[in-house]
């Protein structure tokens, strides 16, 4: 089993909070797609014959691709790798790209799951974020996706920014729930260095993030979605039964994946690779038949710490027996002591040698995991 991630590094506008790799100039889109196809060819041995069961178009904004471009990439994958008969094929999309015709084209091309970047159903909030869509487009696109035959829809929402009152956050969740989408991804706004948001906060053009407000909105979200039958299966992800994102779940299980495109990451079980995050350097290098990447072989300790971090973020939790097998008596003793401390603090629970975050613990997930690292 393996996954393939394709990074499409173009966006219509730069969202103020975003630090992903993308360009707002589409001038070299054709050249870049040709080199994506070249990279797929050059990396055909990476998955060592594993069967591909998920493909994920991320970015950037993959909904900027035409039907022909999508089909060319998918055909190349099918002709290069062993691909399962039934695959989850996800595309991240922005609401303003999802006209009825565009959705029919996506369905025809083989996309069977959409991850739609709604973020908010309020115009003023979308403008604050500098999103390319408006509230009306956000409200329309979910039903339009179903009408076009794509039932498996996930929507993204953002909370924890100063403009978002608790009342507006409740309305966003209520609106999302009226669509009965099978999956939601909800993220707290973070201020990444070198983003427009960071500079606006520094120059006092906008208020900083209020972390208490963000935490209380996260708590409300967890309760509201669990009350409607959604599994909180990963810290930022909620799904109705049987509707978890397979591609993302496989990341958290440590299953290998191949990342294609500028800035895309790959993992083969032992080492990580990441491609250059520059469109022109990527195009030029692939033009010379070279994939421009850096690589890191993970030590046993790094692998263990990654497993602690990713497992704790999931509802399945972290298996302590795995830890005992992988580290010294001394480290195991220190680990047990820290676990007991967090259990007493109400941030962790232990069941059958598996530790899981409590609702309270989910507010401090990164801190708890960091304290448990070897």
Beta-bridge partners for 88: 54
Shortest distance (Å) from residue 130 CB to ligand SF4: 8
For ligand SF4, the binding residue among 23, 61, 249, 279 (CB under 6 A) is 61
> 117 vs 317, which CB is nearer to ligand SF4?
117
Shortest distance (Å) from residue 191 CB to ligand SF4: 14
Shortest distance (Å) from residue 131 CB to ligand SF4: 7
C-alpha–C-alpha distance, residues 79 and 96, integer Å: 32
Shortest distance (Å) from residue 21 CB to ligand SF4: 8
Stretch that binds ligand SF4, among 59-67, 218-226, 320-328, 361-369 (CB under 6 A): 59-67
Q: Does 59 bind ligand SF4 (CB under 6 A)?
A: yes
CB 117 within 8 A of CB 12: no
For ligand SF4, the binding residue among 2, 6, 8, 11 (CB under 6 A) is 11
Shortest distance (Å) from residue 244 CB to ligand SF4: 22
Which residues, numbered 109-148, are part of the site for ligand SF4 (CB under 6 A)? 117
* HSE-up (13 A, CA, CB side) for residue 120: 24
CB 91 within 8 A of CB 106: yes
Q: Could you give the 3-state DSSP secondary structure of residue 138?
A: helix
> 3 vs 59, which CB is nearer to ligand SF4?
59
Shortest distance (Å) from residue 97 CB to ligand SF4: 10
> 11 vs 372, which CB is nearer to ligand SF4?
11
Q: Does 15 bind ligand SF4 (CB under 6 A)?
A: yes
Beta-bridge partners for 10: 23
Shortest distance (Å) from residue 297 CB to ligand SF4: 29
Phi, psi of 22 (to 5 degrees): -160, 165
Stretch that binds ligand SF4, among 7-15, 137-145, 186-194, 268-276 (CB under 6 A): 7-15
Shortest distance (Å) from residue 247 CB to ligand SF4: 17
Which residues, numbered 260-299, are part of the site for ligand SF4 (CB under 6 A)? none
Q: Does 185 bind ligand SF4 (CB under 6 A)?
A: no
Residue 24 neighbours by CB under 8 Å, 6+ apart = 10, 11, 12, 13, 14
Burial of 288 by CB count in 10 Å (0-12 exposed, 13-18 middle, 19+ buried)?
A: exposed
Which residues, numbered 74-113, are part of the site for ligand SF4 (CB under 6 A)? 94
CB 23 within 8 A of CB 74: no
Q: Does 187 bind ligand SF4 (CB under 6 A)?
A: no
C-alpha–C-alpha distance, residues 274 and 294, integer Å: 6
C-alpha–C-alpha distance, residues 349 and 362, integer Å: 12
For ligand SF4, the binding residue among 18, 47, 189, 369 (CB under 6 A) is 18
348-351: strand order across its sheet: 318-319, 354-357, 348-351
CB 169 within 8 A of CB 220: yes
Q: Characterise 346 by phi-psi region: left (phi > 0), alpha (psi -120 to 50), beta (else).
A: left
Stretch that binds ligand SF4, among 11-19, 43-51, 175-183, 293-301 (CB under 6 A): 11-19
Query: How do the residues of the chain divide into helix, strand and coil, expressed in percent and rounded to 5?
Result: 45, 20, 35
C-alpha–C-alpha distance, residues 308 and 148, integer Å: 40
> 32 vs 312, which CB is nearer to ligand SF4?
32
Shortest distance (Å) from residue 81 CB to ligand SF4: 26
For ligand SF4, the binding residue among 3, 60, 261, 262 (CB under 6 A) is 60
Q: Count residues binding ligand SF4 (CB under 6 A).
A: 11
Omega cis (within 30) before 60 = yes
Residues at the site binding ligand SF4, with contacts judged by CB under 6 A: 11, 14-15, 18, 20, 22, 59-61, 94, 117
């Amino acid at each position: 089993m393996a996954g393939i991630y394709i990074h499409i590094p173009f966006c219509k506008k730069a969202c103020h909070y975003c630090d992903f790799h993308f360009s707002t100039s589409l001038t070299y889109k054709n050249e870049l797609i040709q080199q994506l196809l070249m990279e797929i060819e050059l990396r055909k041995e990476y998955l060592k014959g594993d069967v591909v069961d998920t493909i994920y178009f991320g970015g950037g904004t993959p909904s900027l691709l035409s039907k022909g471009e999508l089909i060319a990439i998918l055909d190349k994958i099918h002709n290069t790798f062993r691909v399962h008969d039934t695959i989850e094929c996800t595309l991240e999309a922005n609401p303003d790209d999802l006209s009825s015709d565009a959705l029919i084209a996506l369905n025809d091309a083989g996309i069977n799951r959409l991850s739609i970047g709604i973020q908010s159903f309020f115009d003023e909030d979308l403008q604050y974020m500098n999103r390319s869509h408006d509230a009306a487009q956000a409200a329309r696109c979910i039903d339009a996706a179903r009408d076009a035959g794509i039932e498996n829809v996930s929507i993204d929402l953002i909370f924890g920014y100063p403009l978002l009152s608790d009342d507006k956050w409740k309305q966003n969740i209520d609106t999302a729930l009226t669509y009965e989408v099978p999956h939601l991804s909800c993220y707290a706004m973070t201020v990444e260095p070198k983003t427009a948001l960071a500079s606006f906060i520094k120059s006092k053009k906008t208020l900083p993030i209020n972390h208490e407000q963000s935490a209380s909105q996260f708590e409300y979200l967890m309760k509201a979605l669990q009350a409607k039958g959604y599994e909180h299966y990963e810290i930022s992800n909620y799904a109705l039964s049987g509707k978890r994102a397979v591609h993302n779940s496989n990341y958290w299980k440590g299953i290998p994946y191949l990342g294609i495109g500028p800035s895309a990451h790959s993992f083969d079980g032992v080492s990580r690779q990441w491609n250059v995050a520059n469109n022109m350097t990527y195009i030029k290098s692939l033009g010379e038949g070279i994939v421009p990447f850096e690589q890191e072989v993970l030590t046993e300790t790094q692998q263990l710490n990654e497993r602690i971090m990713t497992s704790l973020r999931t509802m399945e939790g972290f298996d302590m027996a795995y830890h005992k097998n992988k580290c010294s008596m001394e480290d195991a003793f220190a680990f047990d002591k820290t676990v007991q401390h967090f259990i007493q603090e109400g941030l962790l629970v232990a069941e059958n040698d598996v530790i899981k975050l409590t609702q309270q613990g989910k507010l401090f997930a990164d801190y708890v995991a960091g304290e448990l690292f070897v």
